[in-house]
Structure 1
Amino acid sequence: MFLIPTGGLRHLTAILLCLGLAACNEPAAEAPAGPVAFHPDDECHVCGMVISELPGPKGEAVEASGAVKKFCSVQEMFVWWLQPENRNLNVTLYVHDMTRSEWNHPDDRHLIDAKKAYYVVGSDLKGAMGVTLASFADRLAAEGMATARGGQVLRWDEIGLEQLQMMHTGNDGHAGHSGHGTAH
């Protein structure tokens, strides 16, 4: 049996108390904020267009504090994110999973982590900004769309400003908003 002298017990108690108080001052790791539903009056953070009036998957950047930046298309979200001043922000990015959504009315119940998604780049489907990226949680679904509607499947880290620029001006011959697109 090990005995601690009375004075030693007080010192040990004081040390443990100090360690406990020090742990209270440590900042808690903030959990990533979850996705936020789109509302009829939401405007795109980049272009100012009313998001709900436009087809195709949308994107959003949700800060740990709960502040949200919403985008009328996945392409607009990428353009915003790829700007150097935004790359170090503490945000979680979300996009619609088009495996479980209708093209003209993406379902906010199926927003997924943008960095884990598969993207079809260069399909014939139009979104808010003309040719757009289609986002999928499932690789096989993305490949199926690329086979049916054209384009190629890329991952998050394979998409840069160069790909976005070529996609935006290359497929339809002009840049700008197309307004609407249809999926069959």
Structure 2
Amino acid sequence: MNCLCMTRRRALGLAALAALSATGLLAACGDKDQQQAQLAPVEIDRGTSCELDGMLLADYPGPKAQVVFAGQDKPSFFCDTVEFFNTMLAGEQVRAVRAAWVQDMGQAKWEEPQGHWIDAKGAFYVLGSKRHGSMGPTIASFAQEADATKFAGEYGGKVLRYADVKPDMVDLSGGALHDTRM
């Protein structure tokens, strides 16, 4: 009987410990979810510059991107989605990404895009269209597949998902050749 009581006490103690641990884990998960919820895209202004080349985003047409890397409170901006993908897909990219956004060009004006930030990994992209961004040919980003398909029908290109964009599709060489404002 004494042995059975010890087993029962031990089981109750382990159950209580497990409950406390689970509560702690849930609280920790809640903190992480709360931190993620606090991450939000930041609107560009006249002084917002590109992470890679210092170009002012507001001076150029086409979709922009922003990324919050681990250890950063503020996002790094990209004046073009090709630069964004080139950075994200680079083999030497070792910075952990907390959040990444691109602009929904189904809603934003191409010539002066403002707002309409969407999660980069959930977006639809059009590669190979006739529309140019800050670095020449760019990759248009959309929240809705229907908008991407419509854009591709009008300007050419192929609709892709984030995971379908490969490093050889985002070559930065020659981008300055298309910049008439430098």
What interval of TM-score do these two structures reach, taking the shorter chain for normalisation?
0.7 to 0.9
Equivalent residue, structure 1, for 2:155 = 149
Aligned counterparts of 2:58 and 2:87: Cα–Cα separation in 1: 19
* Residue 179 of structure 1: how far off its partner (Å): 4.5
Tell me, which stretches of 5 or more residues in structure 1 are unaligned?
1-8
Alignment of 1:123-138 (within 5 A): 123-138=129-144
- 2:102 is the alignment partner of 1:95: yes
- 2:173 is the alignment partner of 1:158: no
| 3-state DSSP of counterpart to 1:36 | coil
Q: Is the 8 A contact 1:118 1:137 kept in 2?
A: yes
Root-mean-square deviation over aligned CA pairs = 2.8
Q: Is the 8 A contact 1:44 1:72 kept in 2?
A: yes
Moved more, 79-88 or 30-39: 79-88
Tell me, which stretches of 5 or more residues in structure 2 are unaligned?
1-8
Q: Is the 8 A contact 2:69 2:95 kept in 1?
A: no
* Residue 148 of structure 1: how far off its partner (Å): 0.4
- The match for 1:76 among 83, 86, 89 is 83
Equivalenced residue count is 166
* Residue 153 of structure 1: how far off its partner (Å): 0.7
Aligned counterparts of 2:46 and 2:16: Cα–Cα separation in 1: 53
Post-superposition Cα deviations, 1:111-168, rounded to whole Å, max 9, x if no partner, equal 0001011111111111011000100001111011111011111110111111123xx6
* Residue 22 of structure 1: how far off its partner (Å): 6.0
| 3-state DSSP of counterpart to 1:143 | helix
Aligned counterparts of 1:95 and 1:76: Cα–Cα separation in 2: 12
Structure with the higher helix share, 1 or 2: 2
Work out the percentage of aligned pairs sharing the same amino acid: 31
Aligned counterparts of 1:22 and 1:150: Cα–Cα separation in 2: 55
When residues 17 and 74 of structure 1 are mapped into structure 2, their CA distance, relative to the original with a 3 A threshold, is same
Alignment of 1:1-184 (within 5 A): 28-29=28-29, 30-31=32-33, 32=36, 33-63=39-69, 66-86=73-93, 89-108=96-115, 110-165=116-171, 175-176=175-176, 177-179=178-180
* Residue 87 of structure 1: how far off its partner (Å): 5.2
Aligned counterparts of 2:93 and 2:111: Cα–Cα separation in 1: 29
When residues 27 and 72 of structure 1 are mapped into structure 2, their CA distance, relative to the original with a 3 A threshold, is farther
Aligned counterparts of 1:81 and 1:155: Cα–Cα separation in 2: 14
When residues 87 and 119 of structure 1 are mapped into structure 2, their CA distance, relative to the original with a 3 A threshold, is farther
| 3-state DSSP of counterpart to 1:124 | strand
Aligned counterparts of 2:161 and 2:75: Cα–Cα separation in 1: 23
Q: TM-score, normalised by structure 1?
A: 0.75
